[in-house]
Amino acid sequence: MAQSLTSHRPVLAVTLKLSALFLFTAMSALVKALSADFPPGQMVFFRSLFAVPVIVAWLISRGELAQGFVVRKPMGHFWRGVLGTTAMGLTFTGLSLLPLPEVTAIGYATPIFTLILAALLLGERIRLIRIGAVAIGLLGVLIMIWPRLGSADLGTGATIGALCVLGATVARGFVQIHIRQLVQVDHPAAIVFYFSMTATLLSALTVFWGWTMPTLNQLLILITMGLIGGVAQILVTSSYRFGQASMLAPYDYTSMLFAIFIGYVWFDELPTLAILLGAALVIAGNAVVIWREHQLGLERGKARSLTDHKP
């Protein structure tokens, strides 16, 4: 019998998830710090390219390198790469124009948009409870971005930044839909590997819009940014080997604490009251979705149990 690759070790699962979230936040801070000197496309390139060796080493250690090369839906991986690269580029643009806590808070809307897109594209049914959760989440998003959209000049950097980050959350919603379809036919190792490769190739095309030659110190920071992103990606993936998604999902919001701390210490930034209120509503909406998914999972489990024990 093949040995299971998963086990229930909640402390380890939470530790891995929190470590990944901190590293992702630190990576975002590096992007923000470099944004005055490098265009977003160039930073996406380094973020993607130098994550590849980390991911390959991880796949080798797990004996999954062969699975990482085999795909059954190549165009599905291509569009997942296009959408994921777009989301990354928009987020990096937003980081150059907005405070780190604000970018983090708006990003929490991704599960809300994923739920909406799943209903529109996959025909998933959304009942009253989840409709209410979506409404709460969208209200929170509106509260967060309204001060930017309510500006007399919609061409200001902050307004553009807010729209970019909002667009990134929608793109990530599409990414989640694609991943749901891809995991039915392709190994997760292939999904991780080909996204990194696609993002590297697509972002390399932005060289025609002008890149900046980095100094040695800047080059080392760009490489570090990619390595951190690769390690964080592995940590968050590994966390789900030791704990259920429903258990780990609430810990996503600790990234706001990391963003507030790093934003204040590094960039002298603090979230506004609108950001905190809006983020609280988005988190509340997501919490309802997580709770409802957990309840439905229990109901489906009971139904399977009853079916399995029928004479």
161-196 b/e (C-beta count within 10 Å ≥ 16 → b) = bbbbbbbbbbbbbbbbbbbeebeeebbebbbbbbbb
Q: Is the pLDDT of residue 3 over 50?
A: no
CA 255 to chain centre: 11
The string of DSSP codes covering 191-246 is HHHHHHHHHHHHHHGGGGG---PPPHHHHHHHHHHHHHHHHHHHHHHHHHHHS-HH
pLDDT tens string 229-272: 999 989 988 888 887 776 777 788 899 999 999 999 999 998 99
Closest CA to 219 of 24, 20, 45, 21: 45
What are the residue boundaries of the structural domains of the chain, listed by start?
A: 10-308
Over residues 76-87, mean pLDDT: 93
Closest CA to 47 of 31, 36, 33: 31
Do 285 and 126 contact (CB within 8 A), yes or no? no
Say whether pTM exceeds 0.85.
yes
**∠ Cα 67 72 74 (to 5°):** 105
Q: Is the pLDDT of residue 119 over 70?
A: yes
Rounded CA separation 95/103 (Å): 7
**∠ Cα 236 242 247 (to 5°):** 80
**∠ Cα 62 45 85 (to 5°):** 80
Give the pLDDT band of residue 4 (cuts 50, 70, 90): very low
Rounded CA separation 149/160 (Å): 9
Q: What is the pLDDT of residue 309?
A: 39
Three-class SS of residue 303? Answer: helix
